[in-house]
């Protein structure tokens, strides 16, 4: 419904309400008159007498005489004063939601989510999950920035089961009303389709695919959900996970290839609910992907990912680098970085043991992670929220002179995750600040004045790799750590410890001061790399 | 005596298209189901190809209004004219059922004397919630009220209508497309009953050297016909020689794509590998199709939400020609989710055709699936369906009473007949009974004049509820008149049974042995007067295919008052979700505050405040409880439910688990008093934890299908509508005694 139509509707409803109010008022008047009428009182007197005949026989004549005497006397209004004029200004209005306070910088998503999807969004936005019976009410008070509908919301085993399936009227109607309400509020309505991967079209059910969406996108992968950090020893029996919606929807060619590969490598096939999928993947050293959309989550969980050729062919190029394509006969070979050559089946377990998930995580962090996808969505929709806020880093550096400052600036600009702020001290600070300001890197002067989520002391010596900040923030995003740094033993990297040499620290923690050992005792989670 | 059926399809039988084939099939199926059929023609006969074979069938009469002077001799009848003609023909000698097709016609007939006898076949109805305007809903409501049955092409359409227009609930029945092959074509041989046992070589079907694809129908953008012409080239590139046979001559003019007509024609005429046959009669088109290997019904995704099924897909299936088509939930249910010829994009089409061209196993699987699917849409299947509906509409046809015997006069009195409606319909439909209703406006309010009329007129009076109505009729009963009272849980603890003159009552009906026993104890009425006739379940209406994944969906119908114990259902759900977060509780009910008489009680409020607080706050229940709106669309709703709970403190029967059983769900009950006198102890659990453990194990161990079949068989045997109706009617006619024994 358009705003103009809504306004007309409101006017009509108000008129109807006024009319109804007038009728109620009239009926109240008539009822009062009736209750005060002699006829009514006459009836009451007789009824009371009939209920208690003995007493009634005595009182009845007296009461009747009293009634007769007062028959022409004016009656007083029972409620005392005349009812106040009905004032519509006192009625609740939809606009009253503007008065509700709920301070937050975070993107606020109202969502119709399928199993697992809410967890994906929750890491980088405030999420209001809508149910079929409370959707309108919850959206009204949510102060949402946008409405997201998960293409998998209609999966069985969830509150919106069968949404989008033709013929399921009540769910379709509930969603229609919700979308109309969102549009009336000016909220973008977005279809989120997890099965979209690169150029591959999504698998949204027909009843959703045909609706009029402001935008359509993929939620990407939540590194926090699939966190590969701190995993117990992984099971080296390869796992094949049936995609959401059942095995039957895997193209026959892929199904045949996967079956051959699974037999060759001794893989087990698992049907898994999206809510328990992260646990399964984190426990698995080797996975076999049946669809391109499964690849990011399996890489994010740190597994060594195998793909049948038809799946690899449909992967975006930057993901192909991180999977092993299995040719006929079950031999695995890396598609890129061919120095490793062919990996025989027998050596898969060994290869998984030495598997380094970080390059894949870096790719996911930069291009496939949910905050990145949400940020792109916000930008395209013109929303003011910043889902990448949790990735903003303020670098702390000391520069001895101008040359040192220029080296710092070059190092920072080379980072694949550029810092948002730089707190530079020392004689070359002014030079650094001026050069960084030209590149939109703010120089707040002190950590207390910084606005970034993180503070990262810049290494004083040696060459700093371009991936330095990205890897630190990626590790923090995956693990949910409050501080990341060196200090763990060589034999147990990526573990939570009680003391570290901080390389990345939550700004609030840094500003509060103290030693890392004290942070740990105060409940902070310290991740040693 | 055969039921007399009047058929009018608002279709021109000179043009052999889908709607004409529908009319032909409907007449044949009705005749086969035992009706004397009269087909009224819409248009003057110009070609007798369809009409003459029908006119030659036994028990089929063809009425030609144009020759009979009932309408203009040379014009097709408009819907308005058709209403006049049909009314006139019916007035000559009224028909038992009037089968019609077309929404506009149905709407007009809803206000005619034919109302109440209409069997309306719905096609041009809204197919999405957004298309439902108030006017359209009102129109369908009126049509539903005037119709005995609404014939729906698919289960999806049926459920959609029942949810969107409550008046249609209980009236919608399935009447899918009927596949009737032309005389000169034989259906393909049925697939092997156990294909898995056959070797691939045995099951491989001999195909032509180039893969022969076929499309029949109109050429239109959303039908992807232009894209289809590129398939031979793309398949050749993939190493599969192919040719495409296009049959049809209607090229759509699309305002959104003005160049389409020219482009499509050029593609048909000049594309290598494309053979354009032009337009052909249906029989010839099917003969050409039968000579091809694979048919194409791949369409734009916009059409994936259709609630109708393509007859052409089924016809190709019957011919043994597998079809490439879009993957939709409806097609998945028809052909199996693993059907190998589903396609969404042009690339998919090429992929599946390449696979089918290269692999005989894939081709054979697709062909077998299409053949098996088409078998369910035969004329025999349609006649079977109609036979069931006729039996339901005219239950007592088998026991026609003699014309000179007076029909049994049955008076029904009560303020709320919702639990009696099916019985009332049944009694009304019996030709040996005449029924009048004394509808009390409220429990204690009636029109004494009307009640006296009924008391003086009826041979038997049925009082629904043992309330003031029963007290009144017991007082005013005539000598020799029978009085039967249906007592529910609600009245047993009220004062009316104490005021009822039991000597004037012939039978008091309770719905369960436990309540019969309680009634005897509380009232002291003689044992011989208190009889058990169970509640009934409309098994045929509720038994529908379940949607995928319902094993994790727990249903709960009716949450108020508090003795229904939604809180216990939450206990069960919490237990279940510890093992598997897919378990979700769907509650179909009015909300407790919608019943003022419940909500005004402090203890009820307190109970529900706590229940809803728990639903809102418990992490284990977050997003796991859904409150679905109350309504008569229980059949559609139960398609999504795998288990139905009954956790009440007390029930007289509790219909919900029985309805669940009828639908193909599994019941799960706590042991409320008398539960074991109604339900098999197999479904009764000692505690909520035991109930949860049983549900969990049933799903985990793959027993859900076996268990639900057992439950369905039990409810059909014990509480099916026809059985209970017969038992009740026997009580009224005196054929059975109060113990249900035949006399």
Query: How does pLDDT run across B518-563, given as a tens digit for each residue?
Result: 999 999 999 999 999 999 999 999 999 999 999 999 999 999 999 9
Distance of CA A199 to the CA centre of its chain: 23
- Identify the closest residue of chain A to B331 by CA–CA distance: A166
Partners of B427 in beta bridges: none
pTM: 0.87
Residue B479 sits at the vertex; the CA angle it makes with B476 and B483, to the nearest 5 degrees, is: 65
A157 to chain B: which residues are within 8 Å by CB? 549, 552-553, 581-584
Q: Sign (positive/negative) of CA torsion A496, A497, A501, A502? A: positive
Among B154, B623, B630, pick the best mutation site for testing chain A contact (most A Cβ within 10 A): B623
B52 touches chain A (CB under 8 A): no
Q: Which B-chain residues 357-396 have CB contacts (< 8 A) with chain A?
A: 362
Residues 6+ apart with CB under 8 A from B522: B492, B493, B497
Count of CB atoms situated within 10 Å of the CB of A325: 19
Residues 6+ apart with CB under 8 A from B440: B413, B414, B415, B446, B468, B469
Please give the structure tokens belonging to residue B64: 């030609």
Q: Please tell me the distance from the alpha carbon of residue A404 to that of residue A414, in angstroms, as a whole number.
A: 15
Q: What is the pLDDT of residue B59?
A: 93
- Identify the closest residue of chain B to A168 by CA–CA distance: B160
How close does chain B come to A194, measured CA to CA in Å? 18
Q: Do A115 and B628 touch (CB under 8 A)?
A: no
Count of CB atoms situated within 10 Å of the CB of A244: 25
Please give the structure tokens belonging to residue B103: 């929404």
Among A118, A127, A170, pick the best mutation site for testing chain B contact (most B Cβ within 10 A): A170
Q: What is the pLDDT of residue B200?
A: 36
* Tens of pLDDT, residues B261-299: 999 999 999 999 999 999 887 888 899 999 999 999 999
Q: Do B302 and A251 touch (CB under 8 A)?
A: no
Q: What is the pLDDT of residue A332?
A: 63
Q: Which of A166, A210, A246 sits opposite B302 (nearest CB)?
A: A210
Among B329, B364, B547, B556, pick the best mutation site for testing chain A contact (most A Cβ within 10 A): B329
Residue recorded with tokens 């030659």: B56
Distance of CA A46 to the CA centre of its chain: 70
**Phi (first) and psi of residue A402, to 5 degrees:** -65, -40
How close does chain A come to B549, measured CA to CA in Å? 5
Q: Is B647 exposed, middle or buried (0-12, 13-18, 19+ CB in 10 A)?
A: buried
Q: What is the pLDDT of residue A340?
A: 54
Q: What is the pLDDT of residue B359?
A: 84
How close does chain A come to B343, measured CA to CA in Å? 9
B351 to chain A: which residues are within 8 Å by CB? 251, 253
Among A169, A207, A208, A272, pick the best mutation site for testing chain B contact (most B Cβ within 10 A): A169
Q: What is the pLDDT of residue A85?
A: 53
Q: Is A491 exposed, middle or buried (0-12, 13-18, 19+ CB in 10 A)?
A: exposed
Nearest to B139 by CA among B102, B88, B175, B96: B102
Q: What is the pLDDT of residue B398?
A: 47
DSSP structure class, residue A446:
S
* Total residues found in chain A within this entry: 529
Q: What is the pLDDT of residue B557?
A: 98
Map residue B215 onto helix, strand or coil: strand
Residue A320 sits at the vertex; the CA angle it makes with A317 and A324, to the nearest 5 degrees, is: 165
B330 to chain A: which residues are within 8 Å by CB? 166
Report yes or no: A35 and A27 within 8 Å, Cβ to Cβ.
no
Q: Please tell me the distance from the alpha carbon of residue B655 to that of residue B465, in angstroms, as a whole number.
A: 17
Q: Which of A156, A210, A275 sits opposite B549 (nearest CB)?
A: A156
Cis omega before residue B561 (within 30°)? yes
How close does chain A come to B302, measured CA to CA in Å? 6
Nearest to B9 by CA among B75, B105, B92: B105
B581 to chain A: which residues are within 8 Å by CB? 115, 157, 273, 275-276
Nearest to B347 by CA among B230, B206, B490: B230
Q: Do B157 and A169 touch (CB under 8 A)?
A: no
Please give the structure tokens belonging to residue B275: 């053979």
A206 touches chain B (CB under 8 A): yes
Radius of gyration of chain B (CA): 29
Nearest to A475 by CA among A401, A403, A525: A525
Q: Do B337 and A173 touch (CB under 8 A)?
A: no
Write the ipTM. 0.90
Sheet holding B666-670, edge to edge: B625-628, B584-588, B553-557, B643-646, B666-670, B684-685
- Report mean pLDDT in 10-residue bins for chain A, 529 residues: 66 76 76 76 83 79 80 57 56 74 86 90 91 94 93 94 94 96 94 68 79 92 92 87 69 82 89 89 94 93 91 90 79 52 72 86 96 95 93 95 94 96 94 92 92 94 92 96 82 81 95 89 91
Nearest to B313 by CA among B221, B179, B493: B179
Map residue A439 onto helix, strand or coil: coil
Q: Which of A115, A132, A167 sits opposite B307 (nearest CB)?
A: A167
* Tens of pLDDT, residues B164-184: 999 999 999 999 999 988 877
Q: What is the pLDDT of residue B684?
A: 98
CA separation, residue B351 to residues B154, B231, B235, B345, B368 (Å):
30, 11, 9, 10, 20
- Identify the closest residue of chain A to B631 by CA–CA distance: A170
Q: Do B351 and A165 touch (CB under 8 A)?
A: no
Q: What is the pLDDT of residue B195?
A: 44
Map residue B581 onto helix, strand or coil: coil
CA separation, residue A213 to residues A183, B85, B638 (Å):
10, 49, 31
Count of CB atoms situated within 10 Å of the CB of B530: 23
Q: Please tell me the distance from the alpha carbon of residue B560 to that of residue B597, in angstroms, as a whole number.
A: 11
Q: What is the pLDDT of residue A8?
A: 67
Going by their DSSP bridges, the two strands A215-217 and A189-192 should be labelled as parallel
Q: Which B-chain residues 280-309 have CB contacts (< 8 A) with chain A?
A: 301-302, 304-307
Nearest to B662 by CA among B618, B702, B730, B709: B709
- Identify the closest residue of chain A to B627 by CA–CA distance: A133
- Containing A64, the helix (H) or strand (E) segment is helix A53-69
Q: Please tell me the distance from the alpha carbon of residue B234 to that of residue B238, in angstroms, as a whole number.
A: 6
Those residues of chain B that have pLDDT short of 50 are 193-206, 398, 738, 740-743
Report yes or no: B56 and B24 within 8 Å, Cβ to Cβ.
no
Residue recorded with tokens 């027993």: B703
How close does chain A come to B7, measured CA to CA in Å? 28
């Amino acid at each position: 419904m358009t705003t103009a139509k809504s306004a007309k509707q409101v006017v009509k409803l108000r008129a109807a309400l006024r009319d109804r109010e007038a009728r109620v008022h009239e009926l109240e008047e008539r009822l009062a008159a009736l209750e005060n009428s002699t006829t009514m009182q006459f009836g009451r007197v007789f009824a009371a007498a009939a209920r208690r005949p003995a007493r009634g026989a005595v009182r009845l004549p007296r009461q009747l005489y009293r009634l007769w005497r007062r028959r022409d006397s004016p009656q007083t209004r029972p409620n005392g004063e005349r009812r106040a004029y009905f004032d519509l200004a006192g009625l609740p209005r939809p606009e009253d939601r503007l008065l509700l306070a709920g301070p937050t910088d975070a993107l606020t998503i109202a969502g119709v989510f399928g199993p697992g999807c809410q967890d994906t969004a929750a890491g980088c936005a405030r999420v209001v999950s809508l149910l079929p019976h409370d959707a309108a009410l919850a959206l009204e008070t949510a102060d949402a920035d946008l409405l997201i509908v998960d293409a998998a919301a209609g999966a069985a085993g969830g509150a919106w089961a069968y949404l989008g399936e033709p013929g399921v009227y009540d769910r379709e109607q509930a969603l229609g009303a919700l979308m109309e309400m969102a549009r009336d509020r000016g909220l973008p309505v977005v279809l989120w389709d997890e099965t979209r991967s690169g150029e591959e079209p999504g698998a949204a059910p027909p009843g959703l695919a045909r609706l009029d969406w402001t935008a359509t996108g993929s939620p990407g992968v939540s590194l926090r959900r699939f966190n590969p950090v701190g995993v117990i020893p992984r099971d080296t029996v390869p796992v094949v996970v049936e995609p959401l919606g059942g095995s039957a929807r895997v193209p026959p060619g892929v199904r045949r290839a996967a079956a051959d590969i699974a037999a060759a490598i001794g893989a087990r096939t698992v049907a898994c609910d999206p809510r328990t999928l992260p646990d399964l993947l984190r426990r698995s050293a080797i996975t076999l992907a049946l669809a391109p959309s499964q690849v990011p989550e399996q890489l994010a969980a740190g597994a060594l990912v195998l793909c049948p050729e038809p799946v690899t062919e449909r992967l975006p190029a930057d993901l192909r680098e991180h999977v092993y394509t299995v040719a006929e006969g079950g031999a695995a070979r890396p598609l890129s970085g061919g120095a490793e050559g062919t990996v025989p089946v027998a050596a898969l377990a060994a290869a998984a043991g030495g598997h380094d998930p970080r390059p894949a995580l870096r790719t996911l962090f930069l291009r496939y992670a949910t905050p990145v996808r949400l940020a792109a969505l916000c930008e395209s929709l013109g929303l003011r929220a910043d889902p990448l806020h949790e990735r903003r880093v303020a670098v702390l550096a000391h520069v001895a002179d101008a040359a040192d400052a220029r080296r710092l600036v070059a190092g920072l600009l080379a980072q694949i995750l550029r810092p948002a702020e730089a707190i530079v001290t020392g004689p070359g600070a002014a030079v650094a600040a001026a050069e960084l300001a030209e590149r939109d890197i703010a120089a707040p002067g002190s950590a207390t004045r910084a606005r970034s989520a993180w503070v990262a002391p810049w290494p004083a010596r040696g060459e700093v790799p371009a991936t330095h900040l990205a890897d630190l923030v990626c590790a923090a995003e995956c693990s949910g750590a409050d501080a990341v740094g060196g200090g763990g033993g060589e034999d147990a990297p990526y573990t939570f410890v009680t003391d570290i040499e901080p390389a990345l620290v939550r700004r609030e923690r840094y500003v509060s001061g103290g030693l890392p050992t004290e942070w740990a005792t105060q409940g902070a989670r310290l991740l040693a790399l | 005596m055969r039921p007399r059926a009047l058929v009018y399809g608002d279709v021109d039988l000179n043009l052999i298209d889908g709607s004409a084939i529908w009319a032909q099939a409907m007449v044949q199926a009705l005749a086969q189901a035992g009706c004397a059929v009269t087909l009224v023609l819409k248009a003057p006969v110009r070609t007798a190809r369809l009409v003459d074979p029908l006119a030659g069938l036994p028990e089929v009469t063809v009425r030609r209004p144009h020759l009979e002077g009932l309408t203009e001799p040379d014009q097709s009848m408009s819907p308005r004219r058709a209403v006049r003609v049909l009314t006139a023909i019916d007035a000559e000698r009224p028909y038992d059922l009037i089968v019609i097709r077309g929404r506009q016609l149905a709407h007009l007939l809803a206000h005619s004397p034919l109302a109440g006898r209409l069997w309306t076949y719905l096609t041009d109805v809204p197919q999405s919630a957004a298309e439902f305007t108030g006017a359209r809903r009102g129109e369908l409501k009126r049509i539903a009220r005037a119709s005995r049955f609404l014939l729906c092409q698919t289960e999806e359409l049926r459920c959609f209508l029942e949810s969107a227009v409550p008046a249609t609930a209980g009236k919608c029945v399935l009447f899918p497309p009927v596949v009737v092959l032309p005389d000169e074509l034989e259906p393909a041989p049925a697939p092997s009953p156990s294909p898995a046992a056959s070797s691939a070589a045995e099951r491989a079907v001999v195909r032509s050297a180039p893969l022969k694809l076929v499309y029949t129908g109109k050429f239109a953008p959303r039908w992807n016909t232009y894209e289809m012409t590129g398939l031979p080239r793309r398949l050749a590139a993939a190493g599969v020689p192919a040719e495409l046979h296009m049959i049809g001559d209607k090229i759509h003019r699309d305002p959104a794509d003005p160049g389409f007509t020219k482009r499509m024609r050029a593609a048909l005429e000049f594309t290598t590998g494309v053979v354009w046959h032009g337009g052909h009669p249906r029989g010839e088109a099917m003969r050409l199709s039968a000579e091809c290997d694979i048919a194409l019904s791949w369409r734009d995704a916009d059409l994936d939400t259709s609630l109708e099924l393509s007859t052409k897909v089924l016809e190709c299936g019957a011919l043994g020609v597998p079809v490439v088509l879009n993957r939709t939930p409806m097609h998945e249910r028809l052909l199996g989710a693993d059907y190998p010829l589903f396609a969404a994009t042009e690339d998919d089409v090429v992929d599946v055709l390449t696979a089918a061209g290269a692999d005989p196993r894939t081709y054979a699987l697709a062909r077998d699936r299409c053949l098996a699917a088409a078998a369910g849409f035969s004329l025999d299947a349609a006649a079977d369906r109609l036979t069931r509906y006729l039996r339901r509409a005219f239950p007592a046809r088998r026991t026609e009473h003699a014309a000179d015997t007076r029909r049994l006069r049955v008076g029904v009195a009560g303020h709320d007949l919702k639990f009696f409606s099916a019985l009332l319909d049944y009694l009304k439909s019996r030709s040996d009974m005449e029924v009048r209703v004394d509808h009390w406006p409220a429990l204690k309010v009636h029109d004494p004049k009307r009640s006296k009329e009924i008391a003086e007129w009826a041979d038997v009076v049925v009082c629904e509820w043992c309330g003031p109505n029963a007290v009144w009729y017991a007082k005013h009963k005539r000598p020799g008149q029978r009085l039967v009272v249906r007592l529910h849980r609600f009245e047993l603890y009220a004062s009316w049974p104490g005021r009822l003159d039991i000597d004037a009552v012939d039978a008091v009906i309770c719905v369960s042995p436990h309540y019969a026993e309680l009634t005897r104890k509380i009232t002291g009425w003689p044992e011989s007067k208190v009889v058990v006739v169970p509640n009934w379940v409309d098994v045929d209406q509720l038994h529908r295919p379940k949607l995928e994944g319902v094993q994790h969906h727990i249903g709960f119908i009716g949450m108020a008052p508090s003795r229904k114990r939604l809180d216990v259902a939450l206990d069960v759900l919490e237990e279940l979700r510890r093992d598997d977060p897919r378990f979700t509780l769907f509650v179909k009910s009015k909300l407790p505050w919608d019943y003022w008489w419940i909500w005004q009680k402090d203890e009820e409020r307190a109970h529900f405040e706590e229940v809803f607080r728990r639903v809102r706050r418990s992490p284990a229940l977050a997003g796991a409880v859904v409150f679905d709106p109350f309504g008569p669309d229980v059949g559609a709703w139960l398609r999504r439910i795998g288990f139905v709970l009954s956790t009440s403190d007390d029930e007289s029967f509790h219909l919900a688990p029985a309805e669940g059983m009828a639908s193909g769900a599994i019941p799960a009950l706590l042991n409320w008093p008398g539960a074991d006198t109604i339900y098999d102890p197999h479904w009764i659990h000692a505690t909520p934890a035991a109930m949860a453990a049983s549900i969990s194990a049933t799903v985990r161990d793959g027993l859900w299908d076996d268990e639900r079949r057992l439950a369905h068989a039990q409810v059909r045997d014990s509480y099916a509508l026809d059985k209970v109706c017969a038992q009740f009617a026997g009580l009224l006619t005196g054929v059975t005694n109060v113990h249900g024994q035949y006399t």
